[in-house]
C-alpha cells in the first residue's frame, strides 16, 4: 500500500486501514474510532435512550468485548456530549468456575479504569444454585435456559438494589440478527419483533432495557476494543452454547460472506415486523436501499445505517401500572408478585422460582420449556 495506498474515505488524508463490514468503506484508524462512537451516539439520540439528566443507569458488565466496549464508549460519549448520566457496572456472577470468576476480575479492573461503581450479584445467593451445580444436575443440554432466565432476573434485582430502573446491555447487531433468525425460523413473530427493539419494557419487569450497540457489527466492536487497547476477557463460556443459536450464527456468517449488509438487513427486517405483526407481514425490497453507504465523506454526515426514529418507551412506575399488550395482541398480562420470592412476575410463580423448585425437587433431569435462549439478559 505504498504508491497505490488507499486514502481514508472520510478524512481523505490518512492511509485507510479498515474496510467497514457494513458498507465496504475504507477508512483510517482515527476516523474509524470517531465514526464508531458517532454511530453509537446517534443510536442514543435518535432513540432518546437517556431522557433524564442525573439518572443512574446500569451497564450489564460481563467483562467480555461487547459490554467492555459499551462501557468505554459510553464513558467517552458522556464526557463528549454531556448526557449527564451516571453509569454503574452491574455484573452477574453465574458461578461458572474458570470462566466467570476470571471475567469478573476484568470487570473489577474496568470499574477502576472507567471510574464507575461496580455491583456484583451472584446466582448462588439469589437462587442457591451456581451454574456449575445446575450443569452437574441437568447436564449441558438445556443449561442455557436456566442461565438466561436467572440472569435476566438477576440483572433486574441487582439494578433494583442500586435503585436503578434502566439497564444497558452490550447486544450487538450480530446478536440481534441471530435472535431475529431464530425467532423467524420458529415462527415466533411477537418475540421476533420485540428482540429487534432498541429499548424494551417487558411484562415481567419494571426495568427499561436498552441496547446502544444494536447497530454495531461484532467485527467493528472487536476492532474498536483492539485500537483502544481495552482490557477485556475473551474466553467463551465453558458450557456449550445453545445449539439452535449456534446454527443461526453459522447461517448468519454464511450470509454475511455473500452479502456483508445481511446482518443489518436482518435487524431491519425484525424492526419492520414489530410494526406489522398486527396486520399482514410485508417486507419491502425498498427498505434495503437505506443500507447503502451514506455520507459524502464528512464525519458529520455519517449516520448508523438502518436507524429509525422510535418514540421513547414510557416506563411504568409500579407493578399495577403495567398492562402489557403483547405484540400479537393475544392477551394482556398484568404484573403482580411471585408467590415464592416476592419479586415481580406476570405469573403466580416467576420463571426463576419454577426452575429453582424443579432443581430442588427432583433428582431427574428437569424439563424446561422457557425460551431462555433469547439473549434475554
Ligand atoms: N454475567 C453478566 N453480568 C452482567 N451482564 C451480562 C452478563 N452476561 C451477559 N451480560 C450482558 O448481556 C450482553 C449480552 O451477553 P452475551 O452472553 O450474549 O455475551 P456477549 O455477546 O459475549 O457479550 P460480552 O462480550 O459483553 O460478554 C452483554 O454484553 C452484557 O451487557
With beta carbons less than 8 A apart as the criterion, state whether 150 and 368 touch: no
pLDDT band at 248 (very low <50, low <70, confident <90, very high): very high
> Cell for 303?
449516520
Of 170, 219, 234, 238, best ligand 1 pocket probe by most atoms within 8 Å of the beta carbon: 170
Q: Identify the pLDDT of residue 99.
A: 92
Structure confidence by residue, pLDDT tens digits, 122-154: 999 999 999 999 999 998 888 889 999 999 999
Spans of all domains in the chain: 28-293
- Which of left, alpha, beta for 149 (phi over 0: left; psi -120 to 50: alpha)? alpha
| Cβ burial, residue 35 (10 Å; 0-12/13-18/19+) | buried
pLDDT band at 166 (very low <50, low <70, confident <90, very high): very high
| Cβ burial, residue 76 (10 Å; 0-12/13-18/19+) | middle
> Whole-angstrom Cα distance, residue 227 to residue 46?
27
Instruction: Tell me the backbone φ, ψ of residue 180, rounded to 5 degrees.
Output: -60, -45
Q: Which atom of ligand 1 is nearest to the CA of 172?
A: 21
Residue 274 in this model has a pLDDT that exceeds 80: no
Q: Which residue has the higher pLDDT, 346 or 124?
A: 124
Alpha carbon nearest to ligand 1 atom 31, residue: 169
Residue 327 in this model has a pLDDT that exceeds 50: no
Lowest mean pLDDT among 103-117, 244-258, 308-322: 308-322
Q: How far is the CA of 13 from the centre of ligand 1 (A)?
A: 37
b/e burial code for range 290-307 (CB count within 10 A of at least 16 → b): ebeeebeeeeeebbbbbb
Alpha carbon nearest to ligand 1 atom 22, residue: 64
pLDDT band at 315 (very low <50, low <70, confident <90, very high): very low
Q: Which residue has the higher pLDDT, 300 or 75?
A: 75
Q: At what angle do helices 218-227 and 173-186 cross, to 10 degrees?
A: 160
Q: Please work out, in degrees rounded to the nearest 5, the angle formed at the alpha carbon of residue 205 by the alpha carbons of 373 and 322.
A: 130
Q: Identify the pLDDT of residue 45.
A: 98
Q: What is the bridge-based pairing of β-strands 18-19 and 323-324?
A: unpaired
Q: How far is the CA of 16 from the centre of ligand 1 (A)?
A: 31
> Whole-angstrom Cα distance, residue 229 to residue 222?
10
Residue 331 in this model has a pLDDT that exceeds 50: no
28-293 belongs to which CATH class?
A: alpha beta
> Whole-angstrom Cα distance, residue 265 to residue 190?
19
With beta carbons less than 8 A apart as the criterion, state whether 323 and 316 touch: no
Q: How far is the CA of 170 from the centre of ligand 1 (A)?
A: 6
Q: How far is the CA of 78 from the centre of ligand 1 (A)?
A: 21
Q: How far is the CA of 64 from the centre of ligand 1 (A)?
A: 7
pTM of the model: 0.83
Q: How far is the CA of 98 from the centre of ligand 1 (A)?
A: 16
Structure confidence by residue, pLDDT tens digits, 54-111: 999 999 999 999 999 999 999 999 999 999 999 999 999 999 999 999 999 999 999 9
Alpha carbon nearest to ligand 1 atom 7, residue: 62
Structure confidence by residue, pLDDT tens digits, 21-37: 988 999 999 999 999 99
Q: What is the bridge-based pairing of β-strands 199-201 and 323-324?
A: unpaired
CB-based pocket (< 6 A), ligand 1: 60-62, 64-67, 90-92, 94, 151, 169-171, 175, 375, 377
Alpha carbon nearest to ligand 1 atom 8, residue: 62
Of 60, 90, 179, best ligand 1 pocket probe by most atoms within 8 Å of the beta carbon: 60
pLDDT band at 368 (very low <50, low <70, confident <90, very high): low
> Whole-angstrom Cα distance, residue 376 to residue 150?
10
Amino acid at each position: 500500500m505504498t504508491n497505490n495506498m488507499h486514502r481514508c474515505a472520510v478524512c481523505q488524508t490518512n492511509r485507510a486501514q479498515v474496510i467497514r463490514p457494513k458498507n465496504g468503506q475504507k477508512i483510517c484508524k482515527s476516523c474509524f474510532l470517531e465514526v464508531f462512537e458517532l454511530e453509537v451516539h446517534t443510536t442514543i439520540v435518535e432513540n432518546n435512550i437517556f431522557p433524564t439528566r442525573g439518572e443512574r443507569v446500569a451497564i450489564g458488565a460481563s467483562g467480555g468485548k461487547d459490554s467492555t466496549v459499551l462501557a468505554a464508549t459510553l464513558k467517552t460519549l458522556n464526557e463528549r456530549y454531556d448526557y449527564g448520566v451516571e453509569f454503574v457496572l452491574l455484573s452477574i456472577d453465574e458461578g461458572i468456575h474458570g470462566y466467570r470468576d476470571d471475567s469478573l476480575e476484568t470487570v473489577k479492573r474496568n470499574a477502576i479504569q472507567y471510574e464507575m461503581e461496580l455491583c456484583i450479584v451472584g446466582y448462588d445467593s439469589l437462587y442457591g444454585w451456581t451454574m456449575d451445580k445446575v450443569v452437574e444436575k441437568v447436564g449441558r443440554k438445556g443449561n442455557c435456559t436456566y442461565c438466561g432466565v436467572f440472569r435476566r432476573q438477576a440483572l433486574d434485582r441487582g439494578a433494583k438494589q442500586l435503585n436503578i430502573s434502566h439497564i444497558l446491555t452490550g447486544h450487538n447487531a450480530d446478536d440481534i440478527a441471530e435472535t431475529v433468525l431464530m425467532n423467524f425460523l420458529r415462527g415466533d413473530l411477537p418475540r421476533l419483533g420485540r428482540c429487534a427493539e432498541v429499548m424494551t419494557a417487558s411484562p415481567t419487569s419494571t426495568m427499561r432495557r436498552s441496547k446502544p450497540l444494536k447497530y454495531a457489527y461484532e467485527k467493528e466492536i472487536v476492532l474498536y476494543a483492539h485500537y483502544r487497547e481495552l482490557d477485556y476477557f475473551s474466553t467463551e463460556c465453558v458450557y456449550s452454547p445453545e445449539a439452535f443459536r449456534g446454527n443461526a450464527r453459522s447461517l448468519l456468517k454464511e450470509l454475511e460472506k455473500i452479502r456483508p449488509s445481511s446482518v443489518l438487513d436482518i435487524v431491519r427486517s425484525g424492526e419492520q415486523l414489530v410494526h406489522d405483526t398486527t396486520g399482514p407481514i410485508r417486507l419491502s425490497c425498498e427498505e434495503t436501499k437505506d443500507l447503502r453507504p451514506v455520507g459524502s465523506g464528512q464525519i458529520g454526515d455519517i449516520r448508523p445505517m438502518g436507524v429509525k426514529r422510535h418514540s421513547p418507551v414510557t416506563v411504568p412506575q409500579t407493578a399495577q401500572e403495567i398492562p402489557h399488550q403483547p405484540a400479537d395482541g393475544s392477551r394482556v398480562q398484568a404484573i403482580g408478585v411471585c408467590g415464592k420470592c416476592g419479586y415481580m412476575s406476570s405469573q403466580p410463580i416467576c420463571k426463576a422460582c419454577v426452575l429453582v423448585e424443579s432443581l430442588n425437587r427432583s433428582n431427574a433431569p428437569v424439563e424446561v420449556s422457557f425460551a431462555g435462549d433469547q439473549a434475554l439478559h
